[in-house]
């Protein structure tokens, strides 16, 4: 078997095992949460008989292992269960919320990824000069400040003081694409600032590491311009670590938007999860956790596969 095919298959199997382990941790974590699901549904005035009937109806009296495999088998078939608080189908409720989260993450990625790579190349081109120092200082500051604080600061100055964009990012199906973009302008800006810094610094570090190679010195001796050496020779050979950090940040854009969605009251997966955690709606929490885990593991697995394919030693073994 070709080494590339073997490594890709290995990463794929490892990703499935990690997802299986994550599903077990999610289920176990929701089971050990304090409180009683039946009590939270029926209220404090419920009788012991009513509580017992509710537990039996929800299957809470069954062994935990049996409940876990039943839940996992149903989830693999697309049946995420029914929300305890409103009786709605979870998969149907999540589909629209997930679409909103992916819409937000897509526009943040569309801005942050090209900008991060460009700033990384620019920082390498002017290494140890004022553009490099300015870019590094700004990105280091954005990494150090919590995203919720950036969100509230932008909300105060841009929305409240200047009135350029709405402070609450409410979207619905009746809105046009321009109206939706106007509504998500502030959360997209915050997400861009958060992930941009990490990707830019990793791009800079990866290219600088490649710049120490002998073939880079040869290219410089041939009289090629500094930017051409960086762009045509150093950047393609630094693509593997850059792809890894880009994928990690894309995973954060989908999985780590919980805080941003709560700050801007955005109707996405994060807001949906927080609302039902407070209500102790276990099936919803399990479903959201499983989807977040699948997205995070899937993007990391994709990063590993791209890194394997970008390695010429594996593509062309001797």
Q: Is residue 279 part of a domain?
A: yes
Strand partners, 277: none
What is the number of helices (H) and of strands (E) in the chain?
A: 17, 0
Q: Is residue 276 part of a domain?
A: yes
DSSP letter (8 states) at residue 62:
S
The candidate with the shortest Cα–Cα distance to 96, out of 15, 171, 187, 178, is 171
Burial track 269-288 (b if 16+ CB lie within 10 A, e otherwise): bbbbbeebbeebbbbbbbbb
Structural domain count of the chain: 1
Inter-residue contact 275 to 90 (CB < 8 Å): no
Q: Is residue 10 part of a domain?
A: no
Q: Is residue 257 part of a domain?
A: yes
Q: What is the pTM assigned to this prediction?
A: 0.74
Q: Helix, strand or coil for residue 79?
A: coil
Tens digit of pLDDT for each residue in 134-161?
A: 887 887 777 777 777 877 888 888 887 7
| Size of the chain in residues | 318
Stretches where the chain sits below pLDDT 50 are none
- DSSP string covering 279-299, please? TT-HHHHHHHHHHHHHHHHHH
How many Å apart are CA 269 and CA 99, to the nearest integer? 9
CATH number, domain containing residue 99: 1.10.3720.10
Domain that holds residue 94: 90-315
Q: Is residue 156 part of a domain?
A: yes
Q: Is residue 39 part of a domain?
A: no
Inter-residue contact 195 to 108 (CB < 8 Å): yes
Tens digit of pLDDT for each residue in 15-62?
A: 888 888 888 888 877 776 656 666 566 556 666 666 666 666 666 666
Dihedral sign, Cα of residue 250, residue 118, residue 114, residue 186: positive
Q: Is residue 73 part of a domain?
A: no
Q: Helix, strand or coil for residue 82?
A: strand
- Please identify which residue in the block is written with the tokens 């600061």: 153
How many Å apart are CA 283 and CA 289, to the nearest integer? 10
- Report the pLDDT value the prediction gives residue 100, as an integer from 0 to 100: 83
Strand partners, 89: 82
- Report the pLDDT value the prediction gives residue 232, as an integer from 0 to 100: 66
Q: Is residue 283 part of a domain?
A: yes
User: Counting beta carbons within 10 angstroms of the beta carbon of residue 57, is it exposed (0 to 12), middle (13 to 18) or buried (19 or more)?
Assistant: exposed
- Report the pLDDT value the prediction gives residue 225, as an integer from 0 to 100: 67
């Amino acid at each position: 078997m070709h080494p590339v095919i073997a490594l890709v298959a290995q990463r794929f199997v490892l990703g499935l095992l990690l997802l299986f382990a994550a599903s077990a941790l999610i289920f176990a974590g929701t089971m050990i949460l304090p409180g009683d699901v039946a009590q939270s549904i029926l209220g404090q005035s419920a009788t012991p008989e009513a509580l017992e009937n509710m537990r039996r109806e929800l299957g809470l009296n069954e062994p935990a292992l049996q409940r876990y495999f039943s839940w996992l088998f149903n989830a693999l078939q697309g049946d995420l269960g029914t929300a305890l608080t409103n009786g709605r189908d979870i998969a149907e409720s999540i589909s629209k919320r997930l679409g909103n989260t992916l819409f937000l993450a897509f526009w943040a990625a569309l801005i942050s990824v090209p900008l991060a790579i460009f700033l990384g190349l620019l920082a390498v081109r002017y290494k140890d000069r004022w553009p490099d120092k300015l870019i590094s200082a700004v990105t280091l500051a954005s990494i150090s400040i919590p995203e919720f604080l950036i969100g509230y600061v932008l909300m105060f100055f841009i929305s409240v003081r200047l009135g350029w964009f709405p402070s609450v990012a409410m979207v619905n199906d009746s809105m046009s694409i321009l109206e939706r973009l106007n509504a998500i302008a502030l959360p997209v800006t915050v997400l861009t600032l958060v992930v941009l810094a990490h990707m830019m610094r990793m791009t800079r570090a990866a290219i600088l590491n490649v710049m120490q190679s002998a073939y880079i010195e040869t290219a410089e001796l041939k009289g090629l311009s500094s930017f051409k050496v960086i762009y045509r020779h150093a950047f393609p050979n630094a693509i593997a670590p850059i792809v890894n950090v880009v994928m990690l940040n894309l995973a954060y854009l989908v999985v780590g938007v919980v805080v941003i969605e709560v700050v801007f009251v955005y109707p996405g997966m994060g807001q949906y999860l927080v609302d039902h955690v407070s209500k102790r709606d276990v099936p919803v929490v399990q479903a959201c956790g499983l989807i977040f885990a699948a997205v995070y593991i899937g993007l990391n697995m994709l990063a590993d596969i791209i890194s394997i394919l970008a390695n010429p030693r594996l593509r062309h073994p001797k």
